[in-house]
Structure 1
Amino acid sequence: MHDIRAIRDNPAAFDAALARRGLPPMAEDLLSIDAARRARITEAETAKAEQNAASKQVGAAKARGDEAEFERLRALVARKKADMARLEDEARTEDSRLRDALLAIPNLPHDDVPEGADEADNVELRRWGTPPSLDFTAKEHFEIPAVAPGMDFAMAAKLSGSRFVVLSGAVARLQRALAQFMVDLHTTEHGLTEVWTPVLVRDEAMLGTGQLPKFGEDSYQTTNGWWLVPTSEVTLTNLVAGEIVDEATLPRRYTAHTQCFRSEAGSAGKDTAGMLRQHQFEKVEMVSITRPEDSLAEHDRMTRCAETVLERLGLPYRTVVLCTGDMGFGAQKTHDIEVWLPGQGKYREISSVSVCGDFQARRMNARYRAEGGKPAFVHTLNGSGLAVGRALIAVLENGQTAEGEVILPQALHPYLQGRTRITRDGTLA
């Protein structure tokens, strides 16, 4: 959420930043609501002062027997009390209007984010690895003979509908191994603290990280009001909601492996084949809570953490910085990491790592205090480390052979009791 004081101080800069995201000017409308709110507050305070002054005179008028003055003052007290109540109610209404308007406005991009309209304007930063040179036509993950016995979309559709999958045998085991490998790497080498969190959260948690109010249709809500998390970014970031943390405890670096749920609203007809875009999926999430001056360096650090997962798995990837028109709602700057998928013959997103500045912290009222200092808002960051299902797809497609088997990355062998491949009949060997 944005600081209305910063908008008051420099409305032109606020509108210029919005324009970089392709949005119209908003400062004038926001400041109009803010002015009305502040005016009502001032008028209410004036009415209260006048009520208090008249109240002090009522007793004196009564004591000296001046009934006319007594009645006039008593009527004035009642009128000012009513005025104060009305003005306070109007101030609350304007305050709600302002808050609702601010909550609907996306974060402002960093100055170094490239301008652009969509993903075509994203800027590649680097590549790692070489896409495998296959002497046969690459198959998509769900077409590989070794995979077919352990990946059942028809059964999932019978159970739940489209965009679900049932994994079994070697494929299910491989997915579990990938998640364990990622969490172990992040906790033992990258310094992240493993956390287990609920997947059902209240409105306040979704509001704090920016899923609400604007993107409610993208998530699932239970009949009693809980939300199924679209990612554990929601729970991990909200660990500091409403808190004033000690500066000495920063940065806080968390990771969690959870089920995630997304309605995929608006994606009809997109990536319908296979398990690239599912309603229920697994992610290993990374979240950092930092001081403002450390957040950009932390962004680069988190990006390297995600890239390292792919490098250890031997999966070719490229890293891009998203342009202003392709960034998510809460991001100031985002790095997307795209893994090579031979079956599609192109790079596809497997991780987005974003720095959010104090945008989420203001929504959550998450602050830190330096020794002897005034509380200030923390900065928050989040990123996939990685999307487990998409990592599974990449391992299967990059490891496929002409014989229909899948050769598995060496980094996963210890998690598979030394097994190194999935045979054509779907067993680990």
Structure 2
Amino acid sequence: MLTSDLIRPLLRFQDRNVSVALVDPQSASLQTTARELIKLFHSHVDCSQEAWEQALGTYIGPRLDYVLVRGLAKVLSDGATFTPLPTIHAPTVVRESMFAYGPVFSGSDMVHPVSRQGVLQSVATNLKLSPSDVESLLFADRHASYRLTDTGPTWTPETLLARYNLELTRGVLYWASQLTIEIADNYKDIWKFIKLFKLMFVAQATNSGGYRIELDGPISPFVGATLRYGRQMAAFLPALFLCQHWKMQATVYPPQGRGAMNYQMDSSSNDLQSHFKRSGSFDSRLEADFAHEFEQKIGQRRGRWLLRRESDLLLLGDTVMVPDFVMVDRHDERRRILIELVGFWHPDYLRRKLEKVRAANCSHLLLLVYKGLNVTEEDFQGITSEVIFFPNKPVMRDVLAKVEEMSQRIYGPASA
């Protein structure tokens, strides 16, 4: 991510709202700059990070757009791999051997009989190295000495400028104390990244059918601006761009000392593309087979029920449960039966799954449980949800019969 000094000059203020000045990825002049930077970066493969930074400084020279150039360079560096040099002896060992001689000078005299060159020679002899090897090893563990070994993504001027815009957009959240999002799809990925970046949340359903999620930190109620936690929110933001429809509003405290400001966007605000990877269509072969069998035997045009993938949430306090499927009555979308497949997983998964099922206390949840697991009907006693055990794979006829039964019991007779 960009450092805060590359964000601050680009913040823009209007009343109590804050935004950030984005660039036009289609600008010919900006594409020229991006192209030159990509070429310069690639020319430093196998060179030290220090050499790259010196070359960058020379390229910038007297340019007035140095904030932009350094920002683009930071994106390039963050996506690349800089590798420490392979060493015969650890640099700490070499330094200890050198520093054991105490202060030394370039030349020797009566007061300082040992010169730096003499110490290098002595250490080199002891370690069975040449003086030049000792010199290169002395600070080989500094990042400045690391070598550029992989330039990372295959950047084009357009993709580099687009990624720079993304980094600017989330950089505003460095100074955020609270972030509220509204989403209506891709729940599993959103919660995966909420957990990954250790964000605290409070979620509630909205009237429009999605969810409103307030992301907060452990100390943000007591401290107006916390860079460390704000950076976690910033790190999370690209996950939001994996959703088709979303809104975002944040309370931020810019470093210019303007107090609390409002920062907001939605899915129509900017053409921002996430670099996070979206989860696959299914988490297991069992789920894929179930969806395929439903499509083959029932499909979207036959029968009363439609099958949707991970389109509902069960809110469980400090966590959530995202059922694998939802059966929706095509004539009345309020009639919904959640379906969770439980099979072919390790004991910890089963334990957590049972804990979530009990916490959900959900009468319109149907569990399809593989008999080969180390669980029995007794493990599901006392839960509100319905359970069907299957030996090899769920039988669609039995599943639909149970769905109809549950629907009649929970929602009453269905309309014709």
**Shared fold per TM-score greater than 0.5:** no
Larger relative helix fraction: 1
Q: Work out which of the two has the higher radius of gyration on C-alpha atoms and give 1 or 2.
A: 2
TM-score, scaled to structure 2: 0.24
TM-score, scaled to structure 1: 0.24
Q: Which has the higher contact order (CA 8 A, sep 6+)?
A: 1
